[in-house]
Structure 1
Amino acid sequence: MPYLIAAVVLVGVLCALDLVLTLGVVKRLREHTQLIAGVRDAGRTCKGVGEEIGEFAVTTVEGEPLTREALGADTLVAFFSPTCRPCKEKLPQFVEYARTVPGGRDRVVAAVVGDLDVNTEMVDTLRSVARVVVEKNNEEPLGTAFGVMGFPSVVRVAPDRNGRPVVEQDRVELLPVVA
């Protein structure tokens, strides 16, 4: 009888130890799931594919009004900051790509985020290929509408089946379109 009691106690202790280890594994799996989700979204700099663009009303540097409704089919939208080194590196590629966009300048919007005095060179570079908007920070109307979280951001916008503008492509490869 004492052997039987000892065996039952031993099995109980082993089951309790197994339960504690299993709970530890479940906790680690939840942590890893959160880490993986963070890595998947780490490359995002603004709204993702299929997300609707918010309402906005801004004025371009040339005085043209620009609203969400003015974004036509297949519009290229980019956000740059003059204090961002990757933005300066990507700017020539973007300008070259924007020159090849069907519909020309009317299908390209570029937002330069920062102080206008610092942005003049970037604005002048973009003005020939895009409708340019200058915003002080990414919490201004255009940056908020696109959910900008980082720079540079280049997305392609198109209307969904209900006619609302959504992000069609959130990682645009800036390779010139060959006719």
Structure 2
Amino acid sequence: MNILIALTIVLAVTTGGHLMITLGLVRRLRAHTDLLDQLTDNTDRLLSVGTTVPAFTARTVDGDTTTGANLRHPAAVALLAVDCPHCRTNLPEFVAYIQGAGLPRDHVLAVVTTNEHTDPAARHDMLDALAPVATVVCENGTDSGVATAFDAQAFPTFYLTDPDAVITSATHAVRKLPNTTTTPTPAHH
């Protein structure tokens, strides 16, 4: 009988210890979540809402030319870097967001930045993921006309614009973009 009582006490103490460790881990995860939210809420590195889309001209991966004037309709802009882990994390969410919003491909601009150390396979994967939903521009970090025009200081960066090419939303995380649905517009070819 004494052994049964001793085992019960050891089990209770062990369970209590595990519970305390679990509560500590949950508290730490909440603190990390708060820190990440602060980082994604930091708008110091973004163009302000109400700013007109800056002027730029760029060559798309399809060989076409695109300009800031091409964003004179409700549009989305994504500034991504292949070597940025948060960009790769946000990529599927961005694609799903665009599909859910019903924006046609020519109303979405995705700018993919690379550098001399970028893994070609990772570059290819990102471009392939974006091609069905966006007009894609791929820029070298040393020659990044669109990213420079948008004064990209941190990646990823996402903007939504109105019909006058004025920024209506700016964030570093897709989950911070407003929920929106539009009536799909036929793509112009």
The normalised TM-score by structure 1 is: 0.66
Q: Distance in 2 between matches of 1:80 and 1:103?
A: 19
2:48 is the alignment partner of 1:48: yes
Q: Distance in 2 between matches of 1:178 and 1:55?
A: 26
**Matching residue of 1:123:** 127
Report the aligned-residue RMSD. Answer: 2.7
**Matching residue of 2:160:** 156
**Count of matched residue pairs:** 137
**Matching residue of 1:77:** 77
Unaligned runs of 5+ in 1: 1-38
Q: What secondary structure, in the 3-state scheme, does the structure 2 residue paired with 1:169 have?
A: strand
**Matching residue of 2:100:** 100
Q: Quote the sequence identity (%).
A: 29
The normalised TM-score by structure 2 is: 0.63
Larger Rg: 1
Q: Distance in 1 between matches of 2:113 and 2:58?
A: 13
What per-residue deviation string (whole Å, max 9, x for no partner) do you get for residues 73-102 of structure 1?
111000111111111111110011111333
Range 52-61 or range 111-120, more displaced: 111-120
Within the candidate set 146, 150, 155, 2:150 is matched to: 146
Q: What secondary structure, in the 3-state scheme, does the structure 1 residue paired with 2:83 have?
A: coil
Unaligned runs of 5+ in 2: 1-38, 184-189
Q: What's the offset of the Cα at 1:159?
A: 4.3
2:90 is the alignment partner of 1:86: no
Within the candidate set 136, 139, 162, 2:140 is matched to: 136
What per-residue deviation string (whole Å, max 9, x for no partner) do you get for residues 50-72 of structure 1?
11222111011001210111113
**Matching residue of 1:61:** 61
Q: Distance in 2 between matches of 1:77 and 1:142?
A: 11
What per-residue deviation string (whole Å, max 9, x for no partner) do you get for residues 105-162 of structure 1?
11111011114735111001100110000011286221122111111111102244xx
